[in-house]
Chain A
Amino acid sequence: MGMTLTEKILANHSGASSVEPGESVWVDVDVLMTHDVCGPPSIGIFQNQFGEDARVWDKEKLVIIPDHYIFTKDKYANRNVDILRAFAADQDLPYFYDVGSEDYKGVCHIALPEEGFTRPGEVLFGTDSHTCTAGAFGQFATGIGNTDAAFIMGTGQLWVKVPETMRFEFEGTSMPPYLMAKDIILKIIGDIGVDGATYRTMEFGGPGISAMSMEDRMTLTNMVIEAGGKNGVVEPDAKTEAYVRERTDKDFDPVYSDPDATYHSKYRYNLEDMVPMVAKPHSPDNKATALELEGTDLDRAYIGSCTGGKLSDFEAAAEIIAGNDLKIDTYIVPATTEIARGLETHTLNGKPLMQIFREAGCKIGQASCAACLGGPSDTFGRLNNQEVCISTTNRNYPGRMGSKESQVYLASPYTVAASAVTGKITDPRVFIQQTVI
């Protein structure tokens, strides 16, 4: 019987010729990623369990990317980065992207692909639930806790229950000009619910997916956790290969779902039928179309994070913001330093994106997770009161971006930018039709 892409990767990494959903297997880990929030406690458990002098199983496979609480005066947060620094030095880790150094990257889920760690066919675990982003590259990638990370640091292995796979098939040969991957994933989460994919894989395929850029695919897989999914995958293709080859010399073996693979369920969407979507407070599945919410008053717009802080997200926002005044405070936070540099070098009608944002009066932050998850009280863009914010991030739980009194609407960079211009939730189609690209 055929296997899905996810089943094949888990079989290949557990020494089995085949695996079936529901069985537990021990897999060999290709990459373990951790950051400044979960790294220190993972290191603490590793040292408690394996001894103060223990060495990690393979220093080439452990990647440490501080990104959460970086530009803060919080003494505990800064102490935590010091713990990472000392551990990386002690273990002589080649892949530590230290704060304040030229190596500093920013948001781990975007840094991982930029640095060539999202290789098709491999197994990646990370101490962050959005580790599933890397599934866009045909990698098995999922989030784990500190204890599991410490276990991998010592053994290079972890047990996994093989998930059933849900297939999401996309028709359509190109994205309509007003549509973004964020609209698609918000629609799916709204359809299946915040626990609609719990314990399962969400596999995205079909001509509509082939037409998408790698960054768009990452937006889809990033948010599978918002439906409870264990991992999300897109089958690798020429675009995947080109992206990864440009960023690593390491070999990798892509795998693909068999035509006779068994699926838990199949869903079909057509890109042509889809419209700009919004998730209302306080749940990612609280869906509405942008049109239905038109006129909703806002205090703030936020463009950033692993979901909505990639170069293409800022290109989209700039298309709408260029030449317009903004009615509300608008925060721009590039996910990584590479993207921040891209904002200076990429232009729209001859003008660098960063200049467009500055001229419009946007507040520009440094590459990091920033206010996506609230963080310490001095975090850039944090919602400290009763603000109503529209954001390109991935979660709008109570208090997610700071205060329990605040409210967050999730939307695409187009919709957030259009709403920043009007000060109210706005369907971006009005602006897109006027834009000359």
Chain B
Amino acid sequence: MAKQDQIISGKAFVLGKNIDTDQIIPAEHLVYSLDDPEERKFYGRYSLSGVPDAESGLPQGNIPLVEEDKFESEFNIIVGGPNFGCGSSREHAPASLDIAGVQAIIAPTFARIFYRNSVDGGFVVPYESLEDLSKEVHTGDELEIHPEERVVKNITQDKEYEIRPLGSVADIVNAGGIFEFARKEGMIPCQ
């Protein structure tokens, strides 16, 4: 996962509001091993495959995050509407995005278990935007996230948007997850 102060740049993939974890990784796919290097690739293959076709890759729609014969995406920044990641506590959801090559998600609000899993598992950085950018940004736009300046630059549209600081979870994001954080803090012994 990217560090808190690391600039993330790449192509945006845009989704609407209330993207639930069943849409991020449908339940039928929750059977593959996350530990097996070959099997875990399927989580990348099927990441966001539950999103209705017309709502996948807005505003145009009908764009899959990952193409049919691939395991990784050409898009590495998700832009979503409010309440991103609602529903099930399946950690396979942020893991699937990570395996597909997604590094960060920008949304005005997140569902709490998804947010927590993203951070504690060190999968993707969840950035909260001040405005709902899902109606501003187009799938394929080139974005740059500048955490220290608290802005997202849309290179394609020549616009800037504000994001909130990570706050109290910044230390866990910087450490790379809850285990790395706990080792740094001396809560659990180093390996």
Contacts and interface: CB of A to CB of B under 8 A. Distances in A.
Nearest to B36: A44
Contact of A404 (B31, B50, B82, B88): B50
A77 B187 CA distance: 35
B98 interface: no
Interface stretch (A140-148, A177-185, A267-275, A306-314): A140-148
B90 interface: yes
B21 to A, nearest CB: 8
Interface string A110-154: 000000000000000001110100000000000111111001001
A40 B86 contact: no
Contacts of A230: 112
A151 B117 contact: no
28 contacts: A37-B31, A41-B33, A44-B34, A44-B35, A48-B35, A68-B27, A74-B31, A128-B89, A131-B89, A143-B89, A145-B90, A145-B91, A145-B113, A145-B116, A145-B120, A146-B117, A146-B121, A151-B182, A155-B187, A225-B113, A228-B86, A283-B18, A373-B22, A373-B88, A374-B27, A375-B27, A398-B51, A400-B22
A129 B28 contact: no
Contact of A41 (B82, B89, B91): B91
Contacts of B191: 49, 51
B177 A77 contact: no
Given A37-B90, A38-B90, A399-B26, A194 B83 contact: yes
Nearest to B26: A399
Nearest to A405: B52
B109 interface: yes
Contact of B28 (A40, A147, A194, A375): A375
A155 B43 CA distance: 29
B30 interface: yes
A37 B188 contact: no
A266 B120 CA distance: 32
How many chain A residues sit at the interface, stated as a range, is 35 or more
B76 interface: no
Contacts of A161: 168
B22 A41 contact: no
B189 to A, nearest CB: 9
A385 interface: no
Contacts of B177: 147
B27 A129 contact: no
Interface size class of B (residues with CB under 8 A): 35 or more
Contacts of A155: 182, 187-188
Interface of A: 24, 37-38, 40-41, 44, 48-51, 68-69, 74, 76-77, 79-80, 127-129, 131, 143-148, 151, 154-155, 159, 161, 194-195, 198-199, 225, 228, 230, 283, 373-377, 395, 397-400, 402, 404
A376 B179 contact: no
From A44, A143, A397, residue with most partner B Cβ within 10 Å: A397
Contacts of B89: 38, 127-129, 131, 143-145
A74 B32 CA distance: 11
B142 interface: no
Contacts of A400: 22, 27
Interface of B: 18, 20, 22-23, 26-28, 30-35, 39, 50-53, 82-83, 86-92, 94, 109, 111-113, 116-117, 120-122, 168, 177-179, 182, 187-188, 191
A357 to B, nearest CB: 26
Contact of B178 (A44, A74, A129, A147): A147
Given A148-B116, A373-B22, A194 B86 contact: yes
Contacts of A69: 31
A147 B117 contact: yes
Nearest to B18: A194
Contacts of A283: 18
A151 B27 contact: no
A228 B90 CA distance: 15
A192 B54 CA distance: 27
A373 B27 contact: yes
Nearest to B51: A398
Contacts of A51: 191
A230 B111 CA distance: 10
Contacts of B94: 145
Nearest to A197: B112
Contacts of A41: 33-35, 91-92
Given A38-B90, A143-B113, 12 more contacts: A40-B33, A50-B188, A145-B90, A145-B94, A145-B117, A147-B91, A147-B122, A155-B182, A195-B18, A195-B83, A199-B112, A397-B23
Nearest to B32: A76
A198 B112 contact: yes
